Amino acid sequence: MDVCHPDGTTGVLRARHVVGADGAGSNVRQSLGMPFPGRSAISSVMLADVLLDRAPDEIFNFSSNDQGFTFFAPFGEGWYRIIGWDRHRQLPDDAPVTLEDVRDITERTIGDDLGMHDARWLSRFHSDERQVPRYRQGRVFLAGDAAHIHSPAGGMGMNTGMQDAANLGWKLAAVLKGWAGDALLDSYHAERHPVGRTVLHVSHALLSAVTAGSALVRALRAALATVVHGLVVVEAQASRGISGIGIAYRAPRGSHPLAGRRIPDLRLSEKPARLYEALREGKFVLVGRDVAAVAAPWAERVVTASPAAGLRPTVLVRPDGYAAWAAEDPDPEDVRGALTRWLGTVGRGGRGGRQGV
């Protein structure tokens, strides 16, 4: 692969695998001729970083009507990021944006420009909804915006891209270290492509709701939002879905209910004191009682820990925080079998058995 160094010189880099995490206009994706089907979702969206004399009513303020919408997010010290869309003034991406443009749509959507002034950045963009059919092509993988793009609605882009990287990273490490077979890398697409598809659908639904031109649709949207806000369980589930925390991967039939699910930050009985601290080593973490001796042969691949309190099942947590395997009161052979399945065989020449979800 030809590469360009920061000093302007070029060279050739050879590697077993390539990960294209180079954004919506991915050179990696385009070089391979990979399709990127989809459509334009919204155009002429304005971005501005401004100072405000008066803070919005809420920390993250969103308002919409038949004129368009505005969204405010605080940066601190009086600075705010504003996202604005004027339904009646659709211009190309390269059309200049002025502070007066942003002030005007703000006044028309919330009735007050909040004393905005001193814009330090102004821009205009459009959003597409697109996703590659396959996240893997041979030894090349796509992640983040190179694999999927959508509107900013819901703010799901960054979390989705980071979870792509976390999912793929440990699998590549396992293969490169020789204790996992190449088939493990196929599970990256199997797990993350459905997540990307769901994010596109949710983002599209949210965008359709906020850009609705019909007064009736806007009234129904407001009524539904009020009802959902009053249902704590529903609101919590929606939050977990949008944040990505609620994502679960498919587990083999007959698996423990925890398998394929994100494990919360468990308190552990000794240092490291919490599960997510143990995961910083980039290894699997086996959480259970009296498991250290069984896991000893895999010491270079797994950290063992005991839960601080309560009766919990024994859980083998993947480096990305998801349960690979779990069981209630397993015997040593059960634990050993799970470790072999996920961490490979050990000993001289051991390369790793089947890993998957």
What are the pLDDT digits (tens) for 270-323? 889 999 999 999 999 999 999 999 999 999 999 999 998 776 799 999 999 999
- Kindly state the tokens that stand for 341: 């399945």
Selection from 24, 63, 23, 22 nearest residue 41 by Cα = 24
Hey, what CATH class is 39-129 in?
Answer: alpha beta
What average pLDDT does the segment 182-202 reach?
A: 95
Residue 352 has pLDDT above 50, yes or no: no
SS3 71: strand
DSSP, res 72: E
* C-alpha pair distances (Å), 22 with each of 27, 143, 356: 7, 8, 27
Residue 215: predicted pLDDT? 57
**Looking at the chain, which residues constitute the CATH 3.30.70.2450 domain(s)?**
39-129
Angle at CA of residue 158, ends 152 and 161, nearest 5°: 120
Residue 247 has pLDDT above 70, yes or no: yes
- Helical axes 215-230 vs 232-243, angle rounded to 10°: 100
Selection from 159, 158, 129, 145 nearest residue 43 by Cα = 129
Residue 1: predicted pLDDT? 67
SS3 288: coil
Per-residue confidence at 207, pLDDT binned at 50, 70, 90? confident
How do residues 322-340 score in pLDDT, each as one tens digit?
999 999 999 999 999 999 9
**Looking at the chain, which residues constitute the CATH 3.50.50.60 domain(s)?**
20-36+132-243
Residue 355: predicted pLDDT? 47
CB atoms within 10 A of CB 297: 17
How do residues 230-246 score in pLDDT, each as one tens digit?
444 433 454 555 667 88
Task: Give the alpha-carbon dihedral of 8, 13, 17, 19, to 10 degrees.
Answer: 0
What is the Cα–Cα distance from 324 to 39, expressed in whole angstroms? Answer: 36
**Looking at the chain, which residues constitute the CATH 3.40.30.120 domain(s)?**
257-357
**CATH number for domain 20-36+132-243, candidates 3.40.50.980, 3.50.50.60, 3.40.710.10, 1.10.1270.20:** 3.50.50.60
- Kindly state the tokens that stand for 216: 């009736």
Task: Give the alpha-carbon dihedral of 258, 264, 265, 269, to 10 degrees.
Answer: -40
What average pLDDT does the segment 80-100 reach?
A: 94
Q: Does domain 257-357 have CATH number 3.40.30.120?
A: yes
3-state helix, strand, coil split of the chain in percent (to 5) is: 35, 25, 40
Residue 169 has pLDDT above 90, yes or no: yes
Residue 154 has pLDDT above 90, yes or no: no
